[in-house]
Amino acid sequence: MLRHLTGIALLVSAGCNTVEWSLMEAKERPNIVFIFSDDHSTAAISAYGSEINNTPNLDRLAAEGMLFENTFCTNGICAPSRAVILTGKHSHLNSVPTNAERFDGSQTTFPKLLQTADYQTALVGKWHLKSDPTGFDFWRVLPGQGEYYSPDFLTPEGRKRYEGYCTDLTTDFGLEWLEERDEDKPFCLMLQHKAPHRSWMPGPDHLDLYDGEWIPEPDTLFDSYSTRSRAAYEQEMTIDRHMYLHYDLQVPPTEAEGQDLKGPDRAYSRLLDRMTPEQRAAWDAAFEPRNAAFREAKLEGEDLVRWKYQRYIKNYLRCIQSVDDNVGRVMDYLEAEGLAENTIVIYSSDQGFYLGEHGWYDKRFMYEPSLRMPFIVRWPGVTEPGSRDEHLVQNLDFAETFLDIAGVEAPEDMQGASLVPFLRGEEPEDWRESIYYEYFEVGIHAVEPHYGVRTDRHKLMHFHRIDAWELYDLETDPNEVHNLYGKLGHEALTLSLKTELARLREHYQVP
Ligand SMILES: [Ca+2]
């Protein structure tokens, strides 16, 4: 219903009817540039109030557009989030519940529907869905997670290595495609960065950023997990015990350590070997003195955790700085080409990330740091500059939003709703009051599968394999360290959330 209303609003404002959409001048139909990163927490964007970094270009995007304060993923890992965005359907219906599956490219996706409306579509960067992309006139994607330095890219013609830094190259390829596009048709360009995904390898421009500085630690870096279910104790994603010294923290192995490398650490030297001699020299000049000081200090216990946090967070933020630079490059390009006024620029990330909260890195859990996604939209002449929206929205809504922007009717079986009314500053009558989340993957980082409901104030999570529940009051306990489930006085709240959870599972056709 919402879809139809917003569609009409668009048509009325454009002064035409549905039949005439296809006849409209290309210049009147907005272009879409979707800039999408990987694992970028809102806590590392200054427009969202970051206390640890500055992102001037993302702030500029927010200052010229609308920042959504409450955007949540439906399933907090890489490939599933991408599948939800393409299909507008929850993971249990879109063929990719975990990172293991191959995306069924025969499904209806928003890029395919944009193509039917004469949009030119392109995808560059991280794809991670295993099958070849469908619905794109042009694609050049990273195999799997991709590499930061001298990455390989896949195209319909095959695999090729490119010299350079992945974040810069992804933007280069996107802008090159824009140069060669048909100027008589609108376009949708998806620029999908690997950064700031593990293993955090900063680019040549930011190797020395934060050198000698101390980044504030989160309140829960040394979380005891008391009151939580055993899922919180038994995960394998702590900075203390599960971060790899070489692969994750960029400390080369000693000769003795090199004899017994485990897990991702075995890949460490291969990543460095991809660098050009110039890149490698700059890298070594930055990291060798820091690594020598680390070896010298022989840290233990909490001091070692604190050092690991500093090393991790600085490299993570350095990777983000290149993403921010490249957001600025895209905005400058659009401005210089006279495209800025009719191009919607969106920034988002597949899910959030733990920046030391609960002692963790990684994502997966339904707790706030990884549940939240950044979502900023600049639509000149439509979104009020510097505006903020607080409604509960999800990546589930992106497909229908893009279709609405393009004047294309969304299929009935998409499960989200268009966000265009919010972008126009309108208030839909019956917006959702809760969101549904489900994480399916078993084994990786030992995070128990779970599902749950979040309202504007409360969150109820069920770790169903171990039948454990957690309940949080986000207003009084924003760090989610006081599990209220089973505590006296919360019976009515628990019951109402369980009822809402059951309603959502039925509504979204959870098997
Ligand atoms: Ca991710």
Helices 398-406 + 2-14 axis angle, to 10: 30
Alpha carbon distance, N-terminus to C-terminus of the chain = 25
C-alpha 29 to ligand 1 mean position (Å): 31
Q: What is the pTM of this model?
A: 0.94
Query: What is the DSSP secondary structure assignment for residue 433, as one 8-state letter?
Result: S
| Whole-Å CA distances, 153 to 18, 49, 325 | 39, 35, 21
Give the pLDDT confidence score for residue 227 in this predicted structure: 96
C-alpha 353 to ligand 1 mean position (Å): 8
Tens digits of residue pLDDT in 64-109: 999 999 999 999 999 999 999 999 999 999 999 999 999 999 999 9
C-alpha 38 to ligand 1 mean position (Å): 4
Whether a cis peptide bond, with omega within 30° of 0, leads into 196 is yes
C-alpha 96 to ligand 1 mean position (Å): 14
Give the pLDDT confidence score for residue 1 in this predicted structure: 33
Is 411 exposed, middle or buried (CB count within 10 Å of its CB: 0-12, 13-18, 19+)? middle
Give the pLDDT confidence score for residue 233 in this predicted structure: 94
Give the pLDDT confidence score for residue 26 in this predicted structure: 52
C-alpha 287 to ligand 1 mean position (Å): 26
Q: Which stretches of 337-397 are DSSP H helices?
A: 368-371
Ligand 1 (ion): residues with CB under 5 Å are: 38-39, 78, 350
C-alpha 77 to ligand 1 mean position (Å): 5
CB of 187 closer than 8 Å to CB of 337:
no
For residue 468, is it left (φ>0), alpha (ψ between -120 and 50) or beta?
Answer: beta
C-alpha 471 to ligand 1 mean position (Å): 25
C-alpha 133 to ligand 1 mean position (Å): 18
C-alpha 103 to ligand 1 mean position (Å): 16
Average pLDDT per consecutive 10 residues, the chain (511 residues; last block may be shorter) = 37 41 61 98 98 98 98 98 98 97 98 97 98 98 97 97 98 98 97 97 98 97 97 96 97 95 94 97 98 98 98 98 98 98 98 98 98 98 97 98 97 98 94 98 94 98 98 98 98 98 98 94
Q: Beta-carbon neighbour count of residue 51 at 10 Å?
A: 10
Tens digits of residue pLDDT in 29-58: 999 999 999 999 999 999 999 999 999 999
C-alpha 350 to ligand 1 mean position (Å): 5
CB of 384 closer than 8 Å to CB of 74:
no
